[in-house]
Amino acid sequence: MKRFLLSLCCIMALYAVSAQQAINEKQSTLSPEIHPDNRVTFRLAAPQAQSVKVVGDMIAEPAEMVRRDDGVWEYTTPKPIASNLYNYNFILDGVKITDPGNVHTMRDVSSSFNLLLIKGGKGDLFATNAVPHGTLSHVWYPTSDKQHSARRMSIYTPAGYEQGKGRYPVLYLLHGMGGDEEAWIGLGRAVHIFDNLIAEGKMQPMIVVMPNGNMIQHAAPGESAEGFVTPTLHLPRTMDGTYESLFHEIVEYVDSNYRTRADRLHRAVAGLSMGGFHSLHIAMHYPKMFSYIGLFSAAINRGNPELSPLYRDFDKHLDALYATEPRLMWIAIGSDDFLYEENLTLRKMLDKKGYPYIYHESEGGHIWRNWRDYLVLFCPQLFK
């Protein structure tokens, strides 16, 4: 036993040495520390720093961290943080960095930040719980698009899918501008939401397809042939009608390769921001394909009619969609969202035409916290 322990110590010590290469030692500064009452302490060892702040959506204002004698900067929230999923950064001498003590970083467009999960309430929806888990797959589907021969998407199959023989309804879930096929998984915690809602019996087991809506990308940065480029709010080919007009290729791939219920009563399309724009135009372009539509903080009617016929005659397309009597048109937006007005305009148009929809207004603006909440509210309404 002694020799064995010696051997282990030797491994540990040598791992620490090789830390200069690729394998790294344990961080010695605990951050974040979630206290039993859900106050949170953030820490950064930075003896030479002149100023360190913490910023994030769990606090209203940037908070000054205080330097301890040992060079560790510290900030503890004065109040408990409500159970939820949050993101934060440190500002070290003016530079926005991620917390080196917390390896859970996430990317949104071109910025990285840390995640903080407070359990014991709403946050449990975004946690891994002792429930059956679905499978998440990254697959490439063939396309006739001029730029790439294949495009990457993420597909969730619910627990039991692989072992069973049954057919499932399908939700197509679209990301926003600057996002990609990984956005709903990472920032949206969609897989965790699906597992938890299905386990609670609040959501039908369904397949969820999360494609990439930027036609100039065929995959998320890092996974694409472009390599490790830093993503931007790509505009070319994101709202030129191509994605919508080729969307049937995705549906055909999914219906061919998965056990789907391949009819409109068992297909939903929903998305956030630009993905809401895409969802609406896809639903209108293929009025016989989807019966459930979700618009989360959607960019409404921003299509350039010069770029695609899809964006002409909005009224006519809307009439064609409603002629099929969709089971659900669900519109959600935050009261502070910069897209509030154009959603109001859409609602007025629907009211005037007597077209039914369900409206949910939340607090806050154009943020992921709202979109996770909308997904939690939307999914239970599908395929009833």
Q: Are 249 and 141 in contact (CB under 8 A)?
A: yes
CA distance 373 to 362: 9
Whether cis (ω within 30° of 0) applies to the bond prior to 32 is yes
Report the site for a second copy in 69-88 (rule: CB under 8 A): 87
Taking the complex as a whole, the smallest distance from the CB of residue 44 to a second copy amounts, in Å, to: 7
Q: For 351, phi and psi rounded to 5 degrees?
A: -60, -45
Q: Which of 35, 82, 120, 137 binds a second copy (CB under 8 A)?
A: 137
Residue 9 as a binder of a second copy (CB under 8 A): the answer is: no
* Residue of 383, 324, 325, 335 whose CA lies nearest to 359: 335
Restricted to residues 151-170, the positions that interact with a second copy (CB under 8 A) are 152, 159, 162-163
Window 326-345: residues binding a second copy (CB under 8 A): 338
**Cα–Cα distance measured from residue 340 to residue 362, given in angstroms and rounded to the nearest whole number:** 11
| Under rule CB under 8 A, residue 14 binds a second copy | yes
Single out the residue of 38, 41, 49, 216 in contact with a second copy (rule: CB under 8 A).
Answer: 49
Residues from 187 through 226 that contact a second copy (CB under 8 A): 187, 219, 221-225
Q: Does 308 engage in binding with a second copy (CB under 8 A)?
A: no
136: amino acid identity, one letter:
L
User: Which residue in 67, 119, 122, 248 binds a second copy (CB under 8 A)?
Assistant: 119
Q: What is the DSSP letter of 281?
A: H
Among residues 13, 32, 151, the alpha carbon closest in space to that of 85 is found at 32
Question: Can residue 377 be called a binding residue for a second copy (CB under 8 A)?
Answer: no
Does residue 17 touch a second copy according to CB under 8 A?
Answer: yes
Please give the helix or strand (H or E) that residue 106 lies within, else none.
Answer: strand 105-108
What are the distances in angstroms from CA 101 to CA 24, 27, 62, 122, 181? 12, 6, 19, 25, 28
Q: Cβ of residue 318: shortest distance to a second copy, in angstroms?
A: 19
Count of alpha carbons within 13 Å of 303, Cβ hemisphere only?
27
The three-state secondary structure class of 24 is coil
Q: Contacts with a second copy in 357-376 (CB under 8 A)?
A: 365-369
Residue whose tokens read 């001498």: 93
Q: How far is the CB of 372 from a second copy (least distance, A)?
A: 11
Q: Does 227 bind a second copy (CB under 8 A)?
A: yes
Cα Rg, the chain, nearest whole Å: 23
Work out whether 103 is an interface residue with a second copy (CB under 8 A): yes
Residue 384 CB, shortest distance to a second copy, in Å, is: 27
The number of residues that bind a second copy (CB under 8 A) is: 99
Which are the contacts of 99, defined by CB distance < 8 A and separation ≥ 6? 31, 32, 42, 44, 88, 89, 90, 114
* The only residue of 67, 138, 248, 347 in contact with a second copy, by rule CB under 8 A: 138
Whole-angstrom Cα distance, residue 161 to residue 80? 40
Does residue 11 touch a second copy according to CB under 8 A? yes
Least separation in angstroms between CB 184 and a second copy: 14
Choices 48-56, 244-252, 259-267, 351-359; region in contact with a second copy by CB under 8 A: 48-56
Of residues 31 and 204, the one with the C-beta less far from a second copy: 31
CA angle 42, 44, 47 (to 5 degrees): 145
Any contact of residue 41 with a second copy (CB under 8 A)? no
Lookup result for tokens 């994101």:
238
User: Of the candidates 59, 177, 193, 280, which one interacts with a second copy according to CB under 8 A?
Assistant: 177
Q: Give least dist CB 133 to a second copy, A.
A: 4
| Residue 304 touching a second copy (CB under 8 A) | yes
Q: Nearest distance from residue 340's CB to a second copy, in Å?
A: 11
